[in-house]
Structure 1
Amino acid sequence: MKMRLAAIDIGSNAARLLISDVSVNNEGKTEFNKINLVRVPLRLGFDVFETKTISPEKTEMIIHTIKAYKHLIEAYNVEHVKAAATSAMRDALNAREIIDRVKEETGINIEVISGGSEASLIYENHIAENLDKDHAYLYIDVGGGSTELTFFANSKLVFSSSFNIGTIRLLKHQVSDGQWDTMKDFIKRETRSYFNNIIAIGSGGNINKIFSISKRKEGKSLHIELLKDYYKEFASFTLEDRMRLYKLREDRADVIVPALQIYVNTMRWANAQEIYVPKIGLADGLIQHLYADLKKGSGSLTNCRRQMVPCPPNFRRCQYTTK
């Protein structure tokens, strides 16, 4: 049985639509095949982290983006969709009215998730479970408004935590020394038992871009010293030079330096010397979470699919399906 699902991730820097096919192979293993990934740089954090609200202009951008995503969802014949918003929407005082308007105009319900939920959804990808058991693994997901950390050791989830330290907050000078110290103390305290045995797993657009620039082969890691070198190199250039020399969009060129700062600090405090970049993110976790919910309630699945109506109670998290 094959199912086509979609996830919408509305972050502080960009909104993403991921469309994936989910199937079970002959060995009974579930496979997730990405069909399309669309990114729109809404940059909500530039409004919210200064004014605590999303401007009318950004609100219209959100509406247009979700409407466009809905058209793609319908064009790809997607059966179920899950939408989530993170740090910027968590902080925006007018988030509720925007979410209500999106629902009214598109039928898509956006769930504002907590930092802890965001960290857990990143872990839904279960990347560490496929790696060797001799190491502990620290997931690091760096966004515009927050950084999510999930620690996995001895085949168990040790912790998931979120910190309001993100690339846009750093650009806007919204992160205090006290916040850095809190994050540092937490990481050192919670990982000290695994000293010299931790490997990082990175997600987010910035670490994926760094991996691409490094020209490493897929499946290879990046060493922390290389990230430090990139940080020094990129920080030495102007925004325009970064865009020109590395062929970066402006909305990537400005946030890549603070992103490297976060990755380097986090790895340093956990004493992780290398980081793997498996091209995962919140949208992937949303897809897997949606599939798990649908699988649990598969007995009612045929009654819910292909309709723009509320799902039955056991589909509480899936909220709405497409036409």
Structure 2
Amino acid sequence: MLRYAAVDVGSNAVRLLIADISKQDGEYKYKKNTLIRVPLRLGDDAFLDKHISEKKTGDLIKTMQAFKHLMDVYHVSEYLACATSAMREASNGLDIVQQIQEQANLKLEIIEGQREANIIYANHIEADLDDSKTYLYIDVGGGSTELSVFVKGVPEASRSFNIGTIRMLDNQDKEETWDEMREWVKEHTKQYKHLAAIGTGGNINKLFRMSEEKEGAPMSLQKLNALYNKLTSYSLKERINVLGLNTDRADVIIPACEIYLTLMKWTGIKQIYVPKVGMADGIIKLLIEEKLD
């Protein structure tokens, strides 16, 4: 059995996805075997202090050691490990990469926003959707939001903005970045009618599950707005105890909701499709494309 692994070192959580690769009808497919998520919140250090603390560095190294052991036990033949926004901004990011190489024997790559967007789009979600529509692809992370405009299944424009859930919770999102994002979105979507959104990331997945929509069906702006109002009517404690949200999801889900709602309102988009994929899935797809196709 061919096994690949993806490591996604995000600003909120760190993930390991181990996938089984098989060939069906001449095409390579993957099946998720194991997914582990560790909420390290590297963004808290990176966005406030521009430096990842010794404690968080230690936790990250231990996590990478554990991931490497699991990859060995599962006999993973290829892996790609990527770090995004928090590590991009930490002044000691490269030093941490070096320590991970030495102590966990794992090669971690700090990637630029554009490469992050390309990896997320390696999922080719647009292939399953209506070709006649134009889509605004929105991926919301802890430190950045990746946007892309798909016209007839082809990405016409894409850009990464330093607006993310952890950044907003820490009040490190800048008004000019919001203005820039608004300008960019207006500029690249104004000529299209019948726009729909595609949303990826842990928060929109959770919101979609809470909406109880049928899988594959889009979630309406109205429903997302109603969920937002419901969530904000509860305190953080109640979101954990009453709504049953994980502690590391209960706070970030609100700013995530705000980002999706804002983008949909700016563009007049009424529906958002939520495929259950993210950065880690994109990495697996990329590995298949690079190694097998």
Scaled to the shorter chain, the TM-score interval is over 0.9
Residue 105 of structure 1 and its aligned partner are, at CA, apart by 1.3
Measure, in 2, the Cα distance between the counterparts of 1:211 and 1:245: 18
Q: Quick one: which amino acid aligns to residue 263 of structure 1?
A: Y
Distance apart, 1:45 and its partner CA: 0.5
| Paired residues of 1:44 and 1:88 also in contact (CA < 8 A) | yes
Does the CA contact (< 8 Å) of 2:236 and 2:250 recur in 1? yes
Q: Distance in 2 between matches of 1:41 and 1:70?
A: 18
Asked whether the equivalents of residues 14 and 37 of structure 2 are also in contact (C-alpha less than 8 Å), the reply is: yes
Aligned to 1:319: none
The alignment partner of 2:191 has SS state of helix
How far apart, CA to CA, are the structure 2 residues paired with 1:219 and 1:36? 23
- Contact 2:4–2:76 (CA<8 Å) still a contact in 1? yes
Equivalent residue of 1:101, what SS?
Answer: helix
Aligned to 1:188: 186
Question: For 1:243, which of 223, 228, 240 is the aligned residue?
Answer: 240
Give 1:214 deviation, angstroms: 1.6
Contact 2:28 2:288 in 1 (8 A): no
Aligned residues between the structures: 293
CA distance in 2, matches of 1:31, 1:137: 25
Q: Which moved more, 1:142-151 or 1:130-139?
A: 130-139
Greater Rg over alpha carbons, structure: 1
SS in 1 for 2:137: strand
Q: Deviations over 1:267-301 (max 9, x none)?
A: 222222111111110111111112222126xxxxx
- Residue-by-residue CA offset, 1:26-50 (whole Å, 9 max, x unaligned): x222212111111000100011111
Partner Cα distance (1:62, 1:217) in 2: 37
Matched, 1:123 2:121: yes
**Structure 1 counterpart SS, 2:168:** helix
So what's the TM-score if we normalise by structure 1? Answer: 0.88
Of 234-243 and 78-87, more deviation after overlay is shown by 234-243
Three-state SS of the structure 1 residue aligned to 2:275 is coil
2:19 is the counterpart of 1:15? no
Separation in 1 of the partners of 2:47 and 2:202? 20
Aligned counterpart in structure 1 of residue 250 of structure 2, from 231, 247, 253: 253
Distance 1:30 1:135 in 2: 27
Q: TM-score, normalised on structure 2? A: 0.97
Tell me how far apart the structure 1 counterparts of residues 254 and 146 of structure 2 sit (CA, whole Å). Answer: 18
What CA distance in whole angstroms lies between the structure 2 residues aligned with 1:12 and 1:77? 28
Q: Please list the CA deviations of residues 114-163 of structure 1 after superposition, one character each: whole Å capped at 9, or x if unmatched.
A: 11111111110001012121101221110000001122112321012100
Q: Which runs of 5+ in 2 are unaligned?
A: none
Q: Is the 8 A contact 2:19 2:30 kept in 1?
A: yes
- Structure 2 residue corresponding to 1:218, chosen from 215, 218, 228: 215
Q: Which runs of 5+ in 1 are unaligned?
A: 297-323
Tell me the percent identity: 46
Contact 1:15 1:41 in 2 (8 A): yes
Tell me which of 260, 273, 278 is aligned to 1:276: 273
**What CA distance in whole angstroms lies between the structure 1 residues aligned with 2:273 and 2:35?**
21
Q: Is the 8 A contact 1:120 1:150 kept in 2?
A: no
Instruction: Letter of the 2:266 partner, please give it.
Output: W
Tell me the equivalent position of 2:285. Answer: 288
- The equivalent of 2:92 in structure 1 is 94
Q: Which residue of 2 aligns with 1:316?
A: none
Which residue does 1:175 correspond to in 2?
173
What code does the residue aligned with 1:12 have? Answer: S
Greater than 6 Å deviation, 4+ residue runs: none
Aligned partner of 1:112: which letter? I
- 2-structure distance, mates of 1:179, 1:235: 24
> Does 1:203 pair with 2:164?
no
Residue 229 of structure 1: which of 226, 229, 232 is its match?
A: 226
Aligned to 1:77: 75
What CA distance in whole angstroms lies between the structure 2 residues aligned with 1:222 and 1:155? 20
Aligned-residue RMSD, C-alpha:
1.1
